[in-house]
Structure 1
């Protein structure tokens, strides 16, 4: 039985009256990650993304020490957890969309989710998230895309833009394997933290990688494909539509090892 996550707002447990605004106004940014042994891989990137989003969406950043203090309070000494940090403002509404100020912080604490298993089968869909460079709270399109894919017998959805370029998945980035080279799609997308950590580790290891426009018609050029996000550092993609990839187990294990090579940063 699923356990409801703990919710904290501005450093204290959320009350029912605290949640009405979030239920009615779907505006804000978020980031989420695994806490392992009290640390987080790429925590500096998560905090930087939150603050860039805060400035863009609310006009003002959130002090980093405030974020760290609230994360520690929400964890209450736990060293293993899944944290989701959301930014919102009760002052911003449909009638007052031009409010400017530092947003409020909501933190959800729950058990770490299980990573996605290898062998994911994807349905391609022409879809672009609004403001794709932001990890925002507008999720109706993502859920609808995943639902459509699941009802059609697939595991998840892979997005292509109006020009036919492969962009990203519903909740993750995608990469392709061509020989010993990792190819990242060159298209509008969220630059995920797991993707950035893998890129950094590939550079450090001297492993080749590049960005390129990738279309569905190009899939036969690649030996394999994988998805990655903060819950799943790498999982092999078995098929996109009717294109089946060869086994890429060794390459995916290598990517997971590269992700694990990144140090945990203390909260």
Structure 2
């Protein structure tokens, strides 16, 4: 992604505690991969699922640093970084210059770092994903350790796929590199039951499925079960719903009307002002 707002800021403007980041201020987060983040689209100055993103950040801050910034501090940092911009993509990250390899024991509120970008285009459908044996470290946290995710995507593309889907040693599926998986049978969306990140977009879609004549359930799903499903899709904050054409060698039929209903379920979640 690149960003260039009306003031012609450099691509990927970064702010720490609401102020433009300096080179010195960026040294620690650039060199020490300890922290967490959440990223999302700003629409007309508001965010769908903002409360859920803030709860995610607060939970990660408490677990990783021992304390969390207040909602008011998060919101003020976002407003300062946006500087009146009404449409954007934000990445809100947490870090502390007091934590490092030689000093891991510090406890306190982390700093809030925000990247401001142009909103990315949603992924197109027809995505082919490669099952890979893997589980993210601390899968319930959206943390900054992404080497394994990028490596998995690189491996998938080298093998002729678009992305990777993680499975355990028994073939039980969990999540993609940066997205949640949904499987559909009849009028039921099945979310895999496994250790993973409980994505905000997944939760927003799930909360509004009934309005689209759909329901949902959680269940363990193994690769050998894929033939039981009519369709598959991925979802994250950048792409509310995109069809998965194949998982490994199992092919799914395109269901554009289903993707439209899933997108409508996401749209039904009203944006929350920052």
Superposition TM-score, scaled by structure 2 size: 0.95
Aligned to 2:131: 124
Aligned to 2:79: 72
**Distance (whole Å) between structure 2 residues aligned to residue 98 and residue 11 of structure 1:** 26
**Distance (whole Å) between structure 1 residues aligned to residue 149 and residue 15 of structure 2:** 25
Structure 1 residue 138 corresponds to structure 2 residue 145? yes
Over the aligned positions, Cα root-mean-square deviation in angstroms equals 1.1
CA deviation after TM superposition for structure 1 residue 254, in Å: 0.2
**Distance (whole Å) between structure 1 residues aligned to residue 217 and residue 194 of structure 2:** 13
CA deviation after TM superposition for structure 1 residue 203, in Å: 4.5
**Distance (whole Å) between structure 2 residues aligned to residue 55 and residue 21 of structure 1:** 20
Structure 1 residue 218 corresponds to structure 2 residue 222? no
Superposition TM-score, scaled by structure 1 size: 0.98
**Distance (whole Å) between structure 2 residues aligned to residue 197 and residue 126 of structure 1:** 28
Structure 1 residue 29 corresponds to structure 2 residue 36? yes
CA deviation after TM superposition for structure 1 residue 207, in Å: 2.5
Does the residue aligned with 1:97 lie in a helix, a strand or coil? Answer: coil
Aligned to 2:208: 201
Aligned to 1:231: 238
Q: 5 Å matches for 1:52-91?
A: 52-91=59-98
Aligned to 2:257: 250
Equivalent of 1:102 in 82, 106, 109: 109
Does the residue aligned with 2:72 lie in a helix, a strand or coil? Answer: helix
CA deviation after TM superposition for structure 1 residue 163, in Å: 2.8
Does the residue aligned with 2:34 lie in a helix, a strand or coil? Answer: coil
Equivalent of 2:15 in 8, 18, 23: 8
Where structure 2 has 5 or more consecutive residues not aligned to the other structure, the ranges are 4-10
CA displacement 1:168-223 (0-9 Å, x = unmatched): 00000000010111000000100000000011112465632111111111111000
**Distance (whole Å) between structure 2 residues aligned to residue 254 and residue 204 of structure 1:** 9
CA deviation after TM superposition for structure 1 residue 247, in Å: 1.9
CA deviation after TM superposition for structure 1 residue 2, in Å: 4.0
CA displacement 1:117-163 (0-9 Å, x = unmatched): 01000011011000000000000000000000011111000000223
Structure 1 residue 162 corresponds to structure 2 residue 169? yes
CA displacement 1:20-76 (0-9 Å, x = unmatched): 111211000000000001110000000010000000000001111011011000001
Does the residue aligned with 1:198 lie in a helix, a strand or coil? Answer: helix
Aligned to 2:6: none
**Distance (whole Å) between structure 1 residues aligned to residue 144 and residue 118 of structure 2:** 21
Where structure 1 has 5 or more consecutive residues not aligned to the other structure, the ranges are none
Aligned to 1:18: 25
